[in-house]
Amino acid sequence: MTPQRLIVFDVEGVLLPKAHFLLLEVVRRMGFWALVKATFFGALYEIGLLSPKDLLKRLYKPLTGAPLGQLIAISQHLPLMPGTETVISELKKTGFKIALISSGIPTIVLKQMADRRRDMG
């Protein structure tokens, strides 16, 4: 019996380019001041004044009550890093299971992304 083999990919910055985080795409659509605020909190995080948990709380707070369908629709248009589909397809052909993890994408949206990618190979 062949052992199960698993590869886990972080989504942000690995499968999705850093410039196309789901949260950033949502904030961009919320307007100029939302983008300024998100950039400010991002800078505080980068210089060590905010923990990842605090950053995510502050960034997601304005999204409370936002339609889930909107997040899913935005996620469906995020570009993947070049070669992602080929790598995942080849890994699947050789028997690997693929798992996606994220600290910043809601689980339901991540599941939708995984379901969409499931047919890669």
pTM: predicted TM-score of the whole model, two decimal places: 0.64
pLDDT at 47: 95
Classify domain 5-117 by CATH number: 3.40.50.1000
Alpha carbons 67 and 69: distance in angstroms, whole number: 5
Model confidence at 89: pLDDT above 80: yes
Domain ranges for the chain: 5-117
Bridge partners, residue 101, by sequence: 10
pLDDT digits (tens, 9 = 90+) for 12-54: 878 887 766 777 777 777 788 888 888 898 899 999 999 988 9
Distance from the Cα of residue 67 to its chain's centroid: 17
pLDDT for the residue 119: 53
